[in-house]
Structure 1
Amino acid sequence: MSKRCRRRKLPVTAAERHGSSSTPRTSRTIIRKFHTLLKQQKSAQGSTLANINLELEKLGGLERYQHMSCIGQGDDRGGGSDKVLIGWLKQKGWADQKHRLLDVGAVRPDNYHSCASWIDVTPIDLHSRHPSILEQDFLRMDQDCHREAWDIISLSLVLNFVPDGKDRGRMLVQAYSMIRPGGLCFLALPFPCVNNSRYMTLEYMRELMHAIGFSQLEERWKPGGKMIYWLYEKQPPPETRAGEHFSRKKVFRQGRNRNNFHIILPQLGMCCTT
């Protein structure tokens, strides 16, 4: 990466310590409320916007949201997905040479310290909680600087903390542009995001990623489990890109107990060129 690109990154903030007595149910409730307010904030104006901002402030603002997100990514809540990625990389012989990994939404800076001889990791987070984690909004990273710059991008428990379906789609498309040809994208989500959503299924997710240009190599989950993991390889984009098929929500399941997790892709022909 050039020095010019590095200077454009945001500065790293000092680490902050917080208690972690929140229960899983409390964390989920706070995160859902944040998601609702952040979604409303995008289109609100005037007094409505002021009231939403006040509600966000009462909840603790961005720092509180990030704190809940970090708790949700702990090992006791389905975190530790770096072990899954490391295992897959070793199986595929990727430990034989050095690779550059962008760890998006990193909670800890040392997840890959045991692989330092063959993984050069750059951990980033929207609101850094450690001086070794770069404070950086992934969606605002310079596209020219980072195009095809990474061998691997990890999006572990990241998409589910993005409140807007369109931004989730943008994130996946941006990851595609930033991974080198033949490089890998690691994706981890709470399993209910796929198997209990009104708008998602395993097959739909596979088709959506293929439309971007990702070929699925691995998938891991178990019935009743908390997490689902995927490993994708960047391939040339398909000749016929079914972008319209993924540009709006489609209902696959009915029922009051379903969640609303969904992903909406932008115009692929314009966003995924390499």
Structure 2
Amino acid sequence: KTKCETFFHVFLLSLGSDIINGKKANEKLMLYMASVQNNKGHHVCGGFLIDESFVLTAAHCDENVVLGTHNLKKVDDSMRYNVTRCKHPSYVIFNLHFDILCLQLSKKAQLNKRVKPVPLIKAEIKIKEKAKCHVAGWGSTETGGKTDNVLRDVDVPIVNLEDCKKEWAQPPNGVNLPANVICAGGYGTKNGFCQGDSGGPLVCDRKAVGVVSFNMRKNCDYPNVPNVYTNISKYLPWIKKILNNPRLTHD
């Protein structure tokens, strides 16, 4: 595809997610969830704590981070953290390749009964088709709906990657998926994500395996095409490098 075609397809896609057909999350679980917010304190994206100093999210997200709440109306200054961006060196704006970003917190998160990191998948292990995973986020629960301040989560099955690529390439979509992705939910189910919460984690067997990236044309009336996540296992060496020496990769 030409550069113009690539940009055109990106704008057809929906960057971000809110949880569709999910339920309110248990406040004792998913303590790794982060709200990535703009400088006005408005929720923009999801994210997740991977150690006491770093939150992982999507590359098109930034600004500040809130940890330690399931309800965005119940946030105080002690939960807010300024951040430094550590983006993948190959990421280019409006390009969905390398859609992953580390945010270094301005101070170490206080790990407690409200805040706890999630383990990452440890190797490039192929996740079985139809394996039950889950995704969480804040926001609307239907296409064009209002956002929800309470964290919600939903189970989503893994979709075979080759099948996913074929579905996305079908007319009228005609989209060639970027490399290093995982597909789960959306296609063939009533569960998945929508607009407003890119960067949240896809969790399988209690480990983060993907980062919410995009769906198609803001359409949350599933089934359509599968939801797409950045595959964390493909970026483990880069993530390890940042955690060991973050100054090497600051913007």
Larger fraction in helix: 1
Larger fraction in strand: 2
Q: TM-score range by the shorter chain?
A: under 0.3
Give the TM-score taking structure 2 as reference length.
0.28
Higher-RCO chain (CA-CA 8 Å, sequence separation at least 6): 2
Give the TM-score taking structure 1 as reference length.
0.26
